[in-house]
Structures are given as C-alpha cells and as structure tokens.
Amino acid sequence: MITVGVEEEYLLLDPETCLPVPVGDQVRAAAGLGPMTEDGEVQAELLQAQVEVATPVCTELDEVGGHLLRLRHALGTAAEKYGCRLAATGVAPFRARTPVPVTRDARYLALRDQAPQLVAEQLVNGAHVHAAVPDKETGVAVLSRVRVWLPVLVAMSANSPFWDGKDTGFASWRTVMFGRWPVSGPPPRLTSLDDHDSRVQALLDTGTIRDTGQLYWQARLSERYPTIEIRCADVQLRADAAVMFAGLVRALVATALREHEEGAPVPECPHELLQAMNWHAARHGLSGRLMDPAGRSREAGDVLCMLLDHLAPALEEAGDTREVTSLVHRLLQEGTPADRQRRALTEGGLPGLTELITTETTAT
C-alpha cells in the first residue's frame, strides 16, 4: 500500500470584511497542536495571514480525512479567539492596500528581497499530496507519467476565482499567480535521475533559484521525504474533497509505478502543449470542455471518466474506489469550489461568500 500525506495552506480572514488578518503566529500557538510530523503539524507560511498544516503519514484515506478535520477544527477554534476565521480558499478574495507582513524567517525574507511584488501578492493556498515511491530514480519515472494528468487535477480543484475584489474570469487564479515564479507549472519530461539533477543544478548555478525549495513545479521530488509531491491543486473548501485528491494522487502514482515496471511507453506530450492545457484548466475549471492528456478537447465529464478508467485498478487495489468515485460524482453535480464561490457571491453578496469559504472549511 502506497502511503500518503497531505499539506494544506489556509487564510485567516476577518468575518465582516473578508480581508486577511496577520495573526498567524498567535493562531498557531493557540491551536495547541503537537509535533506529529517532522516539522510539526502546524507551520508558519510565507505571509502572516496564513497557516499550514501537515498530516502524519497515512495508509488509509479515512486517516487523511480524520487528521485534516482535527487540524482544521483546532485552527478554526484558535482563529476565532483572535477575531478571525479559518478559510480554505485558493487565493484571498480581497486584500488591503497595506501588504500583509512577511513571516520573520530567513528564507521568506530572502524571497521578499528577490521578488517583493510577487511576495506581497502571494496570498495563495494550495493542497500538496505526498505519495511514497521506492527511490528517487523511480520517482522521476513516476513524474514523467503523471505530468499529463496534472491539468485535469487543476481543473477539478479550482477554488480561486476572485482576487482583489474582482472576478478574474479564471477558475484557479492561484495557478496563474504561481506561474509567475521562474520554475513553475507542469514539470518537463525527465529521462532519468541524472537528467533531473543536472537540470536542477543548472538552475542553482545560474542563481535562477536559491534552493530546491524554489522548484515550484506542480509535481516534484521531495527533498525531505521518500515521496513525490503533487502540488497543483488549490486548497479545497471541504476536507473530504482533499481526501478525494489524496486518493486520486495515490492511484496515479500506483498506476505509474505499474506501468514503469511493465515497461509501458511514457506518455508523450510536448511541454508547450502541456502548459497550454494547464492554462486552459485554470481558466475554465470543469465548465464546458477540458483537454484530455493527449491535448484533445472533450467534455469535462468525459475527461474525468477517462481519469477514473485509467486509475480503476489502482483504486480497487487500495480499497478507495467507492469513496473516490462518489466524491468525483459529487464534484460533477455541484461544480468546482470556484463555481460554488461565484454562486455564493451572486446569491448572498460578500456575507454569503465569506460564510461559504469559512464555514465549509470546518464542516464535517
């Protein structure tokens, strides 16, 4: 069984204005969460209106869901002590004219010096799923097989339509904002671990990135754990939607491992086409059409069916079929979280939007 772990980033928002509140240090301290992971269950993020959590290593999806709900509830309770609410939304829908302070960490301060405007606007929150791989060489082979499915996950997870008080027209504005960093978007097709390491070393040698933590590819090898990290998804409104993505990612990795062992050909997709597919997914989410891994335009529901067919053996082997497929069907019925945010604003104005993105965060 492939183990998984999930990291989620959240915003702290004023319940009346929906503006970010820079009390991350206080909320983390008040949450009283223990060090169940290497770096602790709750961690600081780049800006002081954000917090990040990490689950322990999990074998079952129920474990993932239980830990995420526990962490969200603890942080939500702590946030209310400081007059704000926890919000699982991909970007801050509104922001004040005064930038949110950067967390006093040497690495974060160096990032601010490198790209001050990007850091000032980095009120973005993702969901990162780690899935275990036997070794880094195998991990590279997995990356080259899962990369063609990343735009589909971007479309499914879209949860960031609003920025700076306006509808961006995108379902995942977070994807666009992250794309402004030098090394971002879908990873290139990598032929071996040596190929991976030489590309990374070239980026380090030129000073394009300061360290491997600035490899903002949507899928990458983890430096700290024996995993690959799929980091293309917006943070999800609901904890059970994050569980769905954990199940999908585990099945993607399991399927890629099987194909690698069987010597199946690696999917061919030119990098420029994959970038275009990623942009299209961020723009439209599941509204209308979506590109499949071969770059063909299809109905979004058909592409999701292709994904489930591709993953069916792995989902069945892990015992995840029923839970994951039911959550995918719910997603098709309700629309993406971005769709739900737009409906909430249309029907209830700012109070309706704020209520949605804060109450859903801790809903069971």
Sign of CA dihedral 160, 36, 60, 364: negative
Q: What is the mean pLDDT of the chain?
A: 96
Q: Is residue 311 part of a domain?
A: yes
Work out the end-to-end distance of the chain between its first and last CA atoms, rounded to an integer number of angstroms: 27
Query: CATH code at 240?
Result: 3.30.590.20
What six digits make up the tokens of 309?
């067919």
- pTM > 0.95: yes
Tens digit of pLDDT for each residue in 43-102?
999 999 999 999 999 999 999 999 999 999 999 999 999 999 999 999 999 999 899 999
Q: Does 364 reside within a domain?
A: no
* pLDDT in the model for residue 1: 84
pLDDT, one tens digit per residue, over 108-120 is: 999 999 999 999 9
Give the pLDDT band (50/70/90) at residue 37.
low
Is residue 362 a part of any domain in this protein?
Answer: no
pLDDT: is 39 or 210 the higher one? 210
Question: Is residue 34 predicted with pLDDT exceeding 80?
Answer: no
40 pLDDT band (50/70/90 cuts)? confident
306 belongs to a structural domain = yes
In a domain, 61, yes or no: yes
Answer for the pair 48, 24: CB distance below 8 angstroms, yes or no. Answer: yes
CA 164/CA 39 separation, integer angstroms: 32
| Mean pLDDT value across residues 287-298 | 90
| The Cα angle at residue 341 between residues 339 and 343, in degrees rounded to 5 | 70
The answer to whether residue 363 is domain-embedded is no
Position 288 scores a pLDDT of 80
Query: Which residues, in sequence order, are CB contacts of 222 under 8 Å at separation 6+?
Result: 130, 228, 229
pLDDT (tens digit, 9 = 90+) per residue, 274-292? 999 999 999 999 998 899 9
Burial class, 309, CB count within 10 angstroms (exposed 0-12 / middle 13-18 / buried 19+): exposed
Number of domains into which the chain is organized: 1
Comparing 92-101, 202-211, 254-263, 287-296, the range with the smallest average pLDDT is 287-296
DSSP 276-340: HHHHHHHHHTTSSEEE-TTS-EEEHHHHHHHHHHHHHHHHHHHT-HHHHHHHHHHHHHH--HHHH
Tokens linked to 317: 């082997």
Domain span at residue 183 reads 4-357
Q: Which of 28-37, 125-134, 227-236, 316-325 has the lowest mean pLDDT?
A: 28-37
Quick one: pLDDT band at residue 38, thresholds 50, 70, 90?
low
CA 245 to chain centre: 9
